[in-house]
Structure 1
Amino acid sequence: MTETEEAEKDPLFRSTRLRAARERQARREGPPSVARYLAQIGTLGWMIVVPALLALFLGRWIDRSLGTGIFWSAPLLMLGVGLGCWSGWRWMQKP
């Protein structure tokens, strides 16, 4: 294995290379517009809200079918919020 191939496997090397590429791209494109920031915030919000609402509706449907109060609604709502936050975090960390 060559030295370059070994360096490619090093996480610090890859992180540094990715950061340098992002910096070059930012210099070329300039700062993002306010509209782009607002679009990102809106997208992130929907990424959290949609799974939470779907899980809540599923929980309510199960609770009504089984007559269990909020036995399924509450945990599924928490699961939906957790899934939405996780997917939003993954989206924000995407290179």
Structure 2
Amino acid sequence: MSAPDPKTPDDDPLVTQARLRRERHERWLREGDMSIGRRLAQIGVLGWIFVAPTLAGLFIGRWLDARHGTGIFWSAPLMLLGLCLGGWSAWKWMNSR
């Protein structure tokens, strides 16, 4: 029987997170804080990422309901689907930065 291989430092999540924190800190020292205008622009983009799929789902649902005379049969689920898609997209966008 052979002994299990010891973990390398690259496999340790603590080392990985410490390395990421150091890289972020070095980038902050190089680039500094974001301007207020850039922060406001990011908030605006985040809003559109969240709202656009919701409105698209609502628009398509209303169109289908008007075409088939089904009340809100399509509007509600497609709006909810758009809301979920927008929330997922916003989450992915925020975590990719």
For the aligned pair, the TM-score class normalised by the smaller chain equals 0.7 to 0.9
Partner of 1:70: 72
Q: Greater Rg, structure 1 or structure 2?
A: 2
Structure 2 vs 1, CA of residues 2 and 25 (structure 1 numbering), >3 Å: closer, same or farther? farther
Q: Which residue of 2 aligns with 1:18?
A: 20
CA distance in 1, matches of 2:10, 2:60: 45
Let me know the Cα RMSD of the aligned residues: 1.7
- Given the alignment of the two structures, is residue 42 of structure 1 paired with residue 44 of structure 2, yes or no? yes
**What TM-score results when the alignment is normalised by the length of structure 1?**
0.86
Runs of 4+ in 1 over 4 A off after TM superposition: none
**Number of matched residues?**
93
Cα distance per residue 1:39-74 (max 9 Å; x no partner):
110000000011011111111111112110011101
Distance 1:40 1:61 in 2: 32
C-alpha distance in 2, partners of 1:10/1:66? 57
Distance 1:80 1:28, change over 3 A: same
Q: CA deviation at 1:2?
A: 8.8
Q: Answer yes or no: is 1:52 the counterpart of 2:23.
A: no
Structure 2 portions without partners, runs of 5+ = none
Q: 2: distance between equivalents of 1:13 and 1:66?
A: 58
One of 81, 87, 90 as aligned partner of 1:85: 87
